[in-house]
Amino acid sequence: MSDLANYDPDIYNLIEKERLRQVNGLELIASENVVSKSVLEAVGSILTNKYAEGYPGKRYYGGCEFHDQIEDLARNRLCELFGAEHANVQAVSGSQANQAVYFAFMQNGDKMMSQDLAQGGHLSHGSPVNITGKWYSVSHYGVDKETETLDYAQIAEQARKEKPKMIVCGASAYPRTIDFKAFKEIADEVGAYCMADVAHIAGLIAGGQHPTSVGVTDITTTTTHKTLRGPRGGAIMCGSENAVAIDKSVFPGMQGGPLMHVIAGKAVCFREALTPDFKEYAKQIVKNSQAMAEVLISEGLDLVSGGTDNHLILLDLTNLATNGSHLTGLEAENFLGEAGITVNKNTIPREKLSPFVTSGLRIGTPAVTSRGMKEEEMKQIGHWIAAVLKDVCKDKGSKKAITEVRAEVEALASGFTLYPEVR
């Protein structure tokens, strides 16, 4: 018996239940992935015992010589991976990384422009319910009503009118390629800083499946746990001219001691992302997403923007009517969850429901791709999603499709093992 099972069986049993949920189901949340055993080992290491406040060579505690080497490895590998001049790997999350950038270059009340949360943006890009929306004056841009894609000419016109201090690009629910060069040109025209948040697509950029923002925009932020397939955390990349401002903003500006066990896990994931295998993985993520999208369209489901260029699909559920009203994102999430398919409700352009209910569903392929699934499995999953949603639209009390799909999901999952040595 493990030490944890012996000392705290309550926590041990809950972890085991979660392991079984992941093993027996299909994780299709676009912001989640499956880390390697090496990343798990690093994050669960003895490094968690140490305080290492400061930066390599400039710590406020003794005994940090090995932590200095670990952080240097993480920074150097991240720079090599993205061709960055400078990297900060201490941010504990993508949101914290974003806040550090704002704190470095803006004052309270300064104006920023960013993508509207309801149209694909992120909370930390100035949503009124987020601290960034309270600190700064925010002007949001959205997507074109017809194409449901970014209209760069319209964004440029808005920037000329608003004259923001910073323009933020990057999204959490946008299924199309982002033109970072266009954003930088708009920012340059109005004299604004340009920050790209590539949290969702960092792994695709590293794998050559999406144009990079590094060396294009002034600053790039990212998480390390989505398509990059590392531990939960954040990072910032910038040119050498902004390095001092970024580092001071992270520490002592925003954070205290860094999580060195997580930074070690980041270093491992950056090394993994530098391999040819990772490039094939990134390519497969997109192939899988597009294969599933084609099936969903063939099943008569509506996709925001009509398809996908990246790792995620955004379903518009407004045409799935049931008893005079359409199926909500919350309902769809719950029904698919019962079938062993984990997705998340999401707002869509022209959203009329609350963020707690929504009219959309976000689906992503990074985690199932990490398990080794390819196009044929994605097509089957697409048919299962359609079967469940259509069946519950006919009768919300029906469990027929849910029960059938649940059994098939478990059978498929059993053929793509997840940490078989972990019990």
128 is in an annotated binding site: no
356 is in an annotated binding site: yes
pLDDT confidence of residue 398: 83
Residue 178 pLDDT greater than 60, yes or no? yes
- Give long-range contacts, CB 8 A cutoff, 24+ apart: 250-255: 250/88, 250/90, 250/91, 250/97, 250/100, 251/53, 251/54, 251/55, 251/90, 253/100, 253/103, 253/104, 254/91, 254/96, 254/99, 254/100, 254/103, 255/90, 255/91, 255/92, 255/96, 255/100
51 is catalytic: yes
Write out the chain in H/E/C secondary structure.
CCHHHHHCHHHHHHHHHHHHHHHHCEECCCCCCCCCHHHHHHHCCHHHHCCCCEECCEECCCCCHHHHHHHHHHHHHHHHHHCCCEEECCCCCHHHHHHHHHHHHCCCCCEEEEECHHHCCCHHHCCCCCHHHHHCEEEEECCCCCCCCCCHHHHHHHHHHHCCCEEEECCCCCCCCCCHHHHHHHHHHHCCEEEEECCCCHHHHHCCCCCCCECCECEEEEECCCCCCCCCCEEEEECHHHHHHHHHHHHHHHCCCCCHHHHHHHHHHHHHHCCHHHHHHHHHHHHHHHHHHHHHHHCCCEEHHHCCCCCEEEEECCCCEECCEECCHHHHHHHHHHCCEECEEECCCCCCCCCCCCCEEEEECHHHHHCCCCHHHHHHHHHHHHHHHHHHHHCCCCCHHHHHHHHHHHHHHHCCCCCCCCC
Give the relative orientation of helices 152-162 and 180-190 as an angle to the nearest 10 degrees. 20
117 is in an annotated binding site: yes
Give the tens place of pLDDT for each residue, 258-301.
Answer: 999 999 999 999 999 999 999 999 999 999 999 999 999 999 99
Residue 1 confidence class, pLDDT cut points 50, 70, 90: low
419 is catalytic: no
232 is catalytic: yes
Residue 185 confidence class, pLDDT cut points 50, 70, 90: very high
Q: Which one of the listed residues 12, 16, 32, 53 is annotated catalytic? A: 53
Q: Which amino acid is at 339?
A: A
Q: Which one of the listed residues 12, 16, 19, 51 is annotated catalytic? A: 51
Please report, to the nearest 10 degrees, the dihedral formed by the alpha carbons of residues 368, 374, 379, 380 taken in order: -70
Q: Which one of the listed residues 59, 75, 184, 226 is annotated catalytic? A: 226
Cα separation, 140 vs 128, in Å, equals 11
Residue 322 pLDDT greater than 80, yes or no? no
226 is catalytic: yes
Query: How many CB atoms within 10 Å of residue 107?
Result: 10
333 is catalytic: no
pLDDT confidence of residue 397: 77
pLDDT confidence of residue 26: 98
* Domain architecture of the chain: domains with CATH: 40-274 (3.40.640.10), 280-415 (3.90.1150.10)
pLDDT confidence of residue 421: 61
Q: What is the mean pLDDT of the chain?
A: 96
Residue 147 confidence class, pLDDT cut points 50, 70, 90: very high
Give the tens place of pLDDT for each residue, 32-78.
Answer: 999 999 999 999 999 999 999 999 999 999 999 999 999 999 999 99
352 is catalytic: no
Residue 160 pLDDT greater than 80, yes or no? yes
123 is in an annotated binding site: yes
Residue 423 confidence class, pLDDT cut points 50, 70, 90: low
Residue 101 pLDDT greater than 60, yes or no? yes
Q: Which one of the listed residues 59, 165, 176, 232 is annotated catalytic? A: 232
Question: Which residue is it, tokens 């600053």?
Answer: 219
121 is in an annotated binding site: yes
122 is in an annotated binding site: yes
pLDDT confidence of residue 394: 86
pLDDT confidence of residue 422: 57
What average pLDDT does range 75-85 have in this prediction?
A: 98
Cα separation, 241 vs 330, in Å, equals 45
